[in-house]
Amino acid sequence: MAYARKVFDQIPDPPNIALWNAMFKGYAQNESYREVLVLFSNMKSLDVMPNCFSFPLVLKSCGKINAYVEGQEVQCVAIKGGFRANPFVGTTLIDMYAGGGAVRAAYKVFGEMVERNVVAWTSMISGYILCSDMVSARRLFELAPERDVVLWNTMVSGYIELGDMVAARKLFDEMPNRDVMSWNTVLNGYANNGDVEACERLFEEMPERNIFSWNGLIGGYARNGKFFEVMETFKRMLIEGNVLPNDATLVIALSACSRLVALDLGKWVHAYAESNGYKGNLYIGNALIDMYAKCGIIENAVDVFKSMGRKDLITWNTIINGIAMHGHGSDALNLFCEMKNAGETPDGITFIGILCACTHMGLVEDGFSYFQSMVDDYSIVPQIEHYGCMVDLFARAGLLDQAIEFVRKMPMEADAVIWAALLGACRIYKNIELAEVALDQLIKLEPKNPSNFVMLSNIYGDLGRWKDVARLKVAMRDTGLRKLPGCSLIEVNDSVVEFYSLDERHSEREEIYRALRGLTKSLRSFEYLPDLMEHEQGG
């Protein structure tokens, strides 16, 4: 745009309106909305008359930066220029006012329009939907002389945004003509509202599917924690072959691999992405860093990071947090310096990784310094996660008095994560008094979580206080709570299999337990004796 502006300013004769409009469009496309308004003011000072293509560009820019006073001034210019009845100008005015919540002003413009096409009706109805006024939107929808598929989809989307899937589905069923976007709208509605079964049924009913249909189903599974189903549907998509995955599909698949710790599947998705033209894609690169880090292969995560030509804040945050979680604190802090040198401004997520790095390295003073820098240098308001990192930093270093003092001075109540961190530190440093305080708080916050009882029971056991262990077991039994069995995931033949402690459901359980007994025997032959006390007390 800088070059375009230089050429524009050097035109010897006053530029014609087409050139002014080209500049307006260029600035708008590059999100330089304030420059559009400045240029429009220059244009007026030269007595150049805007046309019907100028006003929509300028009015849209007013709406983008909430410049509604300037928008009213532009509207006055349009009216004086004889564009009051122009449908393009009127529709843009409706969008601008409705986007700013001034739905009455939008309706006034709508009422003054001589020629109201289906686009104008759709804009006014969208304005009511933006203001969550579905009654007025529906009233106008029923009055519309023409209702195309876009207007129907707009109304269906309005109900979905308010969480009314019953009304959305009823209107969807009444549609005379439904395109693939109509189906996708309802599909995503079910997914976003947590009704995965309805989402699955609708997907199977669809007469035609595009990439957004597959992404809607796969994304619905991911949002609702069904990561096994994400991978199975991704494989089905590849097998059917009618639609190829895009970068959004691959990011969701990699995210599922991260959650399932499915390294081999993640590597396969990585290879698929590179062989299908997505090498260097920013979003896939970020997802790959996250996947490799969460699967424990931090070297691969670093390799992906180094290979990326373009990096954004998410890239830096992902690698810093990944490296910090693997205990490479000094590397994480070095990357933080690189990030600042590259001109990227850290945010709250960045500092979670930095504080985590300090925790792993036992850098209490440095951690506190970074915490202060976050507030003083970057004006970031610390959230509960940052306070949790600081408490964990003090607690792991054995500074339990400072940790509890920090908790008392926090501007918000400590959550279960913070008290659990303190409880864990109490086991390491044998602080039974603070452990009992932490357990009291955890019982209030998580009354149905038996793991807290188990942790304190382990602390009593470490100190040989067996009467207190027995007392806790009785208290836990009286609550009717039972500790959830341990769960493990393993990749077998391109699938992820789930196992629970003492699992009797698997069809090959005899062979599995036979192999496990053999491994235990081999360990004992090397004089390795695992500490089973914690599991026995967790019983």
Please name which of 453, 496, 444, 500 lies closest in space to residue 473, comparing C-alpha atoms.
Answer: 453
User: Is 537 a residue whose pLDDT tops 50?
Assistant: no
> Tell me, what's the pLDDT at 429?
87
Q: What is the mean predicted confidence (pLDDT) over 485-501?
A: 63
Please name which of 57, 44, 42, 50 lies closest in space to residue 17, comparing C-alpha atoms.
Answer: 50
Percent of the chain exceeding pLDDT 90 equals 60
User: Is 531 a residue whose pLDDT tops 60?
Assistant: no
CA distance 6 to 2: 6
Q: Lowest-confidence range among 109-123, 144-158, 307-321, 423-437?
A: 423-437
CA-to-CA separations, 309 to 282, 389, 396, in angstroms, rounded: 9, 32, 38
Each domain of the chain, given as residue ranges in start order, spans: 209-305
pLDDT band at 478 (very low <50, low <70, confident <90, very high): low
CA-to-CA separations, 431 to 84, 460, 539, in angstroms, rounded: 77, 10, 24
CA distance 390 to 38: 48
Who has greater pLDDT, 347 or 478? 347
The pLDDT tens digits for 348-407 are: 999 999 999 999 899 999 999 999 999 999 999 999 999 999 999 999 999 999 999 999
> Tell me, what's the pLDDT at 101?
83
pTM of structure: 0.77
Phi-psi region of 188 (alpha: psi -120 to 50; beta: other; left: phi over 0): alpha
87, 120 contact by CB (below 8 A): yes
User: Is 32 a residue whose pLDDT tops 80?
Assistant: yes
CA-to-CA separations, 293 to 83, 321, 327, 501, in angstroms, rounded: 58, 9, 12, 26
Q: What is the mean predicted confidence (pLDDT) over 129-152?
A: 94
CA distance 363 to 340: 21
> Tell me, what's the pLDDT at 534?
44
Please name which of 487, 413, 482 lies closest in space to residue 448, comparing C-alpha atoms.
Answer: 482
> Tell me, what's the pLDDT at 382?
95
The pLDDT tens digits for 258-289 are: 999 889 999 999 999 999 999 989 999 999 99
Q: What is the mean pLDDT of the chain?
A: 88
> Tell me, what's the pLDDT at 513?
80
Please report where in the chains the tokens 């506190």 appear, as a residue: 368
> Tell me, what's the pLDDT at 530?
58
pLDDT band at 45 (very low <50, low <70, confident <90, very high): confident
> Tell me, what's the pLDDT at 332?
95
- The alpha carbon dihedral of 483, 485, 486, 491 has a sign of negative
CA distance 376 to 347: 13
> Tell me, what's the pLDDT at 479?
63
User: What 3-state DSSP class applies to 391?
Assistant: helix
pLDDT band at 228 (very low <50, low <70, confident <90, very high): very high
What would the two tokens of residue 100 be? 């700013």
> Tell me, what's the pLDDT at 116?
87
148, 176 contact by CB (below 8 A): no
CA distance 314 to 284: 12
pLDDT band at 305 (very low <50, low <70, confident <90, very high): very high
Q: Lowest-confidence range among 208-217, 397-406, 498-507?
A: 498-507
- Listed in sequence order, the residues at least 6 apart from 187 whose beta carbon sits closer than 8 Å to its beta carbon are 199, 202, 203, 206, 213, 216, 217, 220
> Tell me, what's the pLDDT at 504?
67
Q: Which CATH architecture has domain 209-305?
A: Alpha Horseshoe (1.25)
The single-letter DSSP state of residue 415 is -
Q: What is the mean predicted confidence (pLDDT) over 421-438?
A: 85
Q: Lowest-confidence range among 56-65, 144-153, 472-481?
A: 472-481
Q: What is the mean predicted confidence (pLDDT) over 56-82?
A: 89
CA distance 336 to 303: 17
User: Is 6 a residue whose pLDDT tops 70?
Assistant: yes
